[in-house]
Structure 1
Amino acid sequence: MNIDRKILACVDTTPMADVVTDYATWAARRLDAPVELLHVLERHVELSDNQDHSGAIGLDAQEKLMDRLTQEDAERTRSAREQGRVLLSGLRERAEQGGATTVDSRLRHGDIEETLAEQQEGSRLLIIGRNGHPRRDAKTGLGQHLEWVVRSATRPVLVVTEAYREPRSVLFAFDGSSVTRKGVDMLAGSPLLRGLKLQLLIAGEPGAAEQKSLDAAVVSLVAAGIEATASTRAGSPKEVVADALATGGFDMLVMGAYSHSPLRSLLFGSKTTDMLTSTCVPTLLLR
C-alpha cells in the first residue's frame, strides 16, 4: 500500500457523509490505498435577531455585547468540534467495516476551500458529495464549494449523489480531447475500474481523428483489463449522455472537467456544470 497516495474524502454533517465514505471505501479496496476523512468547520458568527448590534449603543454595552458574542462563538466552536469528532469516529468505523484497511480522519477549522487546496497534496483521488436530486433542465445548484473544488483540483474528483451503489458498469463521455485521451491513459494505468464494463460514448458523428482516438482508447483499456466498448449517438453531449444514463443501467459517469476558465463558463456556460446538474449517478471528473 502506498500511504502517500491517499483517497481524500470530504465529509460534513449531512447524510451525504455516509455515501462519500462508502465510495471512498470502495475506491480504497480497489486501489489498495489509505482513506483520509476530512471534515472542515467553517466559522460563521450568528447573532440573535432580538439584539441591537448597531453602533447606537453605549461603549460599555458594546464591550459587554462583544464579550458575550465571543463567548457564544467559543461555545459554538467547541460544540461543533465535538460533533465533528463524533461524526469522524462513526465514519471511520463505517469505512473499516466496509473493508478499508487504513483509515485516518482530520478535523480542521477554517476556510473549506483553502483547507482542501492544502490537503489534496499527496492524494490520488478526491471524493466529495453533492446534495439534491438534479433535473434534466437544471441550470444552477452545484454550490460554490463544489465547483471551486473541481476547478482547483489537481487530482481526479469523484462527485457522488444519493445512495451508494457499487459500480459495475461505467459510461465514459469521450470527445477525443486531450483531457479525455489522458483520462484513458490514467484509467488504463489504474486498478480503479479494472474488471468493470465501460462504454466510451461520443455524441455526434465522429471525424476521422476522433474515430482513431476512440478505437485506440478501446484497445488500451481492454489491454488493461477493462471490458471496454465504444458507441456513437447523434445529438448534443448533454442529451446523449443523459439518455444513455437513463436507459443503459450505468452506475458511474466518467468525463473531463472544466477545460475553460470560470469567466468563459460564466459567459457561455460549462459542459461540466450542465452534465453534473443533469445526472444522478456518481461522476468521475478527470483533471
Structure 2
Amino acid sequence: MSQLFWQAAQDFRAARRAADVEHVLARLSGRSNELLSYEEVRKKLHATAIHPQGVRDIPLDAIIGSEGRYTDFTRTFLPKQESDMERWTRVNLAVQRPAGLGPIEVYQIGEAYFVRDGNHRVSVARQLGATYIQAYVNAVETSVSLTPDTGMAELILKAEYADFLKSTGVAEWLPDVNFELTIPGHYWKLEEHIDVHRYFMGMNAEREISPAEAISHWYETVYLPVVRVIRERGLLRDFPTRTETDLYLWLLEHRAELTQTLGWEVATEEAASHLTAEYSPHSRRLAARIGEHIRAVLTPDTLSAGPPVGSWRAEQGQVGSELALFPRILVPFQDNQAGWQAVEQALSWAAREAGQIRGLHITAAGEPAAAGLKEQFARRCQEAEVLGQLSITSGDVTQLIYDRSRWVDLVVISLTHPPEPQPLARWNSGFRSLISRCPRPVLAVPGPARPLRRALLAYDGSPKAREALFVAAYLAGRWNISLAVLTVMDPGPEMAEILADAQRYLAAQDCCAAYHNASGPVAETILRTAASLDSDLLIMGGYSLTPWLEIVMGSTVDQVSRESDRPLLLCR
C-alpha cells in the first residue's frame, strides 16, 4: 500500500469518527444532521422548471442535500458507511493529483444546493479543508427559496408555504409580500381568513368575487391594518423569532380571546399592548411580570400601593394633544338607583370626550343578571348617543374592577360605600383598596349626574396632586369648564410656592383659573369651598401615604369621599 493511499485511508477513518460524533451530538441536541432529499424537496416546493447556469464556484457549506445519496452522508458530508472506504479513498487520491477531477453537478434552490453528481468529491473536499468547489449549476424554479440553514423542520414550513401560495394564488397577485410562518400547520388559518373574507364580500356585493379581488381586498382592509399595528408597536422587537404573519394570526386570536373574556370588543392596539406585556420574552417584560407576580403573592390587596405615580400620565402624553384623554370609560354598576346614576354620569363624560363606555355588572356566583338589564343599558347609551358595551360576570367586585381598569382610561363608580372612620372598616373597604391600586383615575359619583361645568382642584404640590393638576388642565382646556385651584395650609413661603407652581403649569397650558388659599381642617375646607363656589366636580390626588398609614391614620381622601355630595375625581 502506497503512502498516499494509506494517508487517504486515514482521512476516511477520521471522517467516519467525526460522523459518529456528529450523530451523537445531533441526538443530544435534537437537531437533525441528515441531508435533504432533492426529490422530496422538489415535490414539496412544486418545482416548475430547471435552467442551466453553467460552471461556477459554489460554497461547500451551502450544499444541504443530494439527489440519490442523501442517506450515505451527514449534513456536513461526512461518510456514514464503512463500505464507502474504497471509493472515498480513491476519490481522495484522484482529487490530489495534478489533473484533479472535473466539476460536480448540482441543483440550486434559492441559496442552497443539492448534489446531482459528485457526492464523494464534496465529502473529500470538505475533509481536506476546501471552502468552495466547481460545479455545473442547474437553477430550479420554485415559489419559495431555501437557505443553507434549512433543515427538515424548516423544509416542512417551506413546503406548507409553497402549498399555500399555489392554492391561493397569493404569489401571483401579491408577489412582493412575504406571508411566511414559523409554526407548522397554520397556513390553513390564512386560507380560511381569505375564504371567509371573499364570502362576505360576495354577500355584500351580491355577486361572485374573484380570488384576485378577494385577496387584494383582504390584504388592504384586514391584513395590512393589523401589520401596521405590529410595526407601530414594535412587536417584532418583543418577539424576534416570529414573522409579521405569525404575529398577525396570534394578534387576531388573542384579540378574540380577550373579547370573549372581557365581554366587550377589544381594539387591535389594545390586544397588541396586552400581548407584549403578557408574553414577550424580552428581559424587561419578563422582569416586570416576575416582579408583579412576586408583589401579588407577598402583598395583600388591601396593602398594595398600585403602580408608580405618573405611570398613567406617561402613557397619555401631553395635555395639548389633539387626542381625547378619556376615550374609554369603565362603569361598574348594580341595578339600582345609585348604579344607574353612575352610568348617567359616565355617559355624560363619554359624550364630551366622543368616547365609549364599557359597562360592568357583577353578580354573585350563579346568580343571573336582572331581566332587561342589557336592554336598559343599551337604551340609555343610545339616548346619550354614546357607544356602549356591557359585560356581565361574577366574582370579587374590587378585583374585577381593578383587572378591567387597565383596559380603559377612566373608572366611574357609585360612591355608595366610602371608607368608614374606624381603622378596621378602612382595612375592609373595597373603595379604599380600589383607589390605592387602580392604575387609572377614578370618578366617584355620590348622587345624580351633574353637568360638570365648574371644577375645584385641591392642590398641595404632592406627586399625586400634580397628576390631578394635569387632568384639571386637560378638562379646563378641552371642555372649556371653569377651574378653581385651592391650597389648604398655613400661610407662608411654602403655600406661596405651591400656588405659584400650579399657576406656572396652568399658564403653560393656556388655562385660566381662579386661585384660593385657606388654612384649617383640610377636608372641611375643601368641601366648604366647593359648596361656596357651587363646584360640580372635585379633583384631587389619591392617597399620599403608604396603605398602612392610611388605614391607621385615615386621610383627607376618606373624609371628602364620605361627606361630598358632588362627583370626586381621584388621580394617581
TM-score between both structures, scaled by the size of structure 1: 0.76
Match status 1:252 vs 2:537: yes
Output the aligned Cα RMSD.
Answer: 2.6
Tell me which moved more, 255-264 or 157-166.
Answer: 255-264
Equivalent residue, structure 1, for 2:421: 139
Equivalent residue, structure 1, for 2:518: 233
Distance in 2, Cα, partners of 1:261 & 1:181: 18
1:164 deviation in Å?
1.4
1:113 to 386, 395, 398: 398
2:375 to 89, 107, 110: 89
Match status 1:31 vs 2:313: no
Distance 1:222 1:14, change over 3 A: farther
Contact 1:41–1:109 under 8 Å retained in 2: yes
Match status 1:174 vs 2:496: no
Distance 1:173 1:144, change over 3 A: same
1:246 deviation in Å?
2.6
In structure 1, the residue corresponding to 2:377 is in which secondary structure? helix
Contact 1:167–1:252 under 8 Å retained in 2: yes
Contact 2:460–2:498 under 8 Å retained in 1: no
Distance in 2, Cα, partners of 1:221 & 1:34: 28
In structure 1, the residue corresponding to 2:464 is in which secondary structure? helix
Distance 1:226 1:167, change over 3 A: farther
Distance in 2, Cα, partners of 1:280 & 1:42: 29
1:109 deviation in Å?
1.4
Post-superposition CA distance 1:68-102 (Å, at most 9, x none)? xxxxxx5xx2xx23x1x6223312321221231x2
Equivalent residue, structure 1, for 2:560: 275
1:191 deviation in Å?
7.0
Distance in 2, Cα, partners of 1:259 & 1:30: 30
In structure 2, the residue corresponding to 1:149 is in which secondary structure? helix
Equivalent residue, structure 1, for 2:60: none
- Within 5 Å, give how 1:1-287 maps onto structure 2: 5-43=327-365, 77=367, 80-81=368-369, 83=370, 86-100=372-386, 102-131=387-416, 139=421, 144-189=429-474, 194-221=479-506, 224=509, 226-287=511-572
Distance 1:96 1:207, change over 3 A: farther
Distance 1:169 1:186, change over 3 A: closer
Distance in 2, Cα, partners of 1:127 & 1:116: 10
Tell me which moved more, 112-121 or 201-210.
Answer: 201-210
Post-superposition CA distance 1:26-47 (Å, at most 9, x none)? 211222221101111133xxxx
Q: Which amino acid aligns with 2:380?
A: R
Distance in 2, Cα, partners of 1:223 & 1:87: 46
Which is richer in helix?
2
Distance in 1, Cα, partners of 2:352 & 2:507: 18
Unaligned residue ranges in structure 2 (runs of 5+)? 1-265, 271-326
TM-score between both structures, scaled by the size of structure 2: 0.40
In structure 2, the residue corresponding to 1:277 is in which secondary structure? helix
1:182 deviation in Å?
2.6
Identity percentage of aligned residues: 22
Post-superposition CA distance 1:120-143 (Å, at most 9, x none)? 1121100000227x9xxx736888
Tell me which moved more, 156-165 or 223-232.
Answer: 223-232
In structure 1, the residue corresponding to 2:334 is in which secondary structure? coil
Q: Which amino acid aligns with 1:231?
A: H
Matched length: 245
Distance 1:279 1:124, change over 3 A: same
Contact 1:221–1:227 under 8 Å retained in 2: yes
Equivalent residue, structure 2, for 1:55: none
Which structure has the bigger radius of gyration?
Answer: 2
Q: Which amino acid aligns with 1:91?
A: F
